[in-house]
């Protein structure tokens, strides 16, 4: 088999979504993956332990902004597609340290696009037409919705409200421009909030699960009525595979779980599930650990995803209900204590102190 016809390059493939995608790709597609990850705090080789000895998975530590490294990988492995998961992705961290988000999400994406463009232009005609660059983005680029507003469609105006979402919006615009200006065959996906195994415990669901298991406070921002659409990570990965296989170059596809929940309802659902899973826990009922704390600056009130385009055009829809996904996620964290212990390092504790120590309780 022509190696070109089978190999893909995944960036950020040791992170939460990227690692889940790599594992699913190896298990269900079975074709080679070259995995480039910088291994920042959220990149974790333990996420890829099950494919460590698999010849179909090649891991290389590196930065998407390092043009010589990326160019060398492209020339050596000749991928038929590049999937860009690499990103700084936590809103709270972007408020504290916006520069890192601009550097990775905007400048890094620009440099990656340029390296890929130069590689793509050298391909023979048939391979050039088949090549795809898939950029994984977020619904946060669209801004915030009111309670009765229609869900975000692909035609919704960009109105980012945080340094994180602004940096991702900028990267989306670069991807679009590289298609319209240079003809690079790109695909962009904008997903809702992901949850599931291997998620670094700084996002709402993973953070609350571990705090509740350990009997720590569950700090809910503001009044807890902020609404998010929740998407189980394996559903997201299957949607990306669908877009890669059947999406039209230049198109944008929104990926959501059709599952709007308020933050406080999500936290309460975690508590109830842990009550069932841990009947002998000293912290039952876990809801008594909930505290309300000062809201974060510029906190978007509601996100919701209109998935009608990807369902209509590509035949994809989510398969995992929120209840099923939450149970699977909680069970995974309970069953992987060593992974949890390793990620809750000194750096993680320093972050918690920086983000939460100064948030006074709301009475």
Q: Which residues are catalytic?
A: 139-140, 164
Q: What are phi and psi of 217, to 5 degrees?
A: -60, 150
Tokens 């650990």 sit at which residue?
A: 289
Q: Tokens standing for 243?
A: 């877009």
Tell me if 27 sits within 8 A of 33, measured CB to CB. Answer: no
DSSP 273-291: HHHHH-TT-TT-SGGGGEE
- Give the C-alpha separation, 239 to 191, whole Å: 10
Q: Is 254 left (phi over 0), alpha (psi -120 to 50) or beta?
A: beta
Non-local (6+) Cβ contacts of 221 within 8 A are 263, 292, 293, 294, 295, 296, 299
Handedness of CA 161, 163, 168, 170 (dihedral sign): positive
- Give the C-alpha separation, 315 to 307, whole Å: 10
């Amino acid at each position: 088999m022509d190696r070109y016809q089978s190999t893909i390059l995944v960036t950020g493939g040791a992170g939460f979504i990227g690692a889940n995608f790599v594992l699913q790709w190896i298990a269900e597609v079975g074709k080679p993956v070259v995995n480039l990850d910088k291994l920042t705090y959220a990149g974790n080789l333990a996420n890829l332990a099950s494919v460590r000895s698999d010849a179909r998975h090649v891991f290389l530590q590196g930065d998407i902004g390092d043009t010589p490294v990326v160019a060398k990988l492209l020339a050596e492995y000749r991928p038929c597609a590049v999937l860009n998961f690499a990103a700084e992705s936590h809103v709270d961290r972007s408020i504290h340290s916006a520069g890192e988000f601009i550097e990775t999400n905007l400048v890094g994406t620009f440099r990656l696009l340029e390296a890929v463009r130069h590689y793509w232009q050298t391909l023979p005609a048939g391979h050039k037409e088949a090549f795809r660059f898939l950029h994984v983005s977020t619904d946060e680029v669209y801004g915030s919705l009111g309670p009765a507003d229609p869900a975000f469609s692909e035609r919704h105006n960009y109105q980012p409200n945080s340094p994180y979402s602004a940096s991702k919006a900028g990267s989306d615009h670069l991807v679009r421009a590289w298609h319209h200006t240079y003809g690079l065959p790109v695909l962009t996906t904008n997903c809702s909030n992901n949850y599931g195994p291997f998620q670094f415990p700084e996002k709402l669901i993973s953070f609350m699960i571990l705090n509740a298991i350990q009997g720590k406070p569950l700090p809910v921002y503001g009044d807890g009525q902020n609404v998010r659409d929740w998407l189980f990570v394996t559903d997201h990965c299957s949607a990306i595979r669908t877009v890669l296989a059947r999406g039209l170059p230049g198109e944008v596809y929104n990926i959501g779980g059709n599952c709007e929940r308020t933050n406080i309802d999500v936290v309460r659902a975690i508590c109830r599930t842990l009550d069932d899973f841990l009947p002998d826990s000293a912290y039952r009922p876990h809801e008594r650990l909930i505290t309300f704390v000062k809201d974060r600056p510029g906190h978007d009130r509601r996100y919701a995803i209109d998935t009608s385009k990807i369902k209509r055009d590509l035949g994809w829809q989510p398969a995992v209900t929120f209840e099923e996904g939450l149970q699977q996620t909680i069970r995974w964290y309970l069953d992987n204590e060593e992974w949890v212990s390793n990620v809750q390092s000194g750096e993680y504790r320093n972050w918690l102190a920086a983000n939460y120590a100064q948030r006074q309780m709301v009475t």
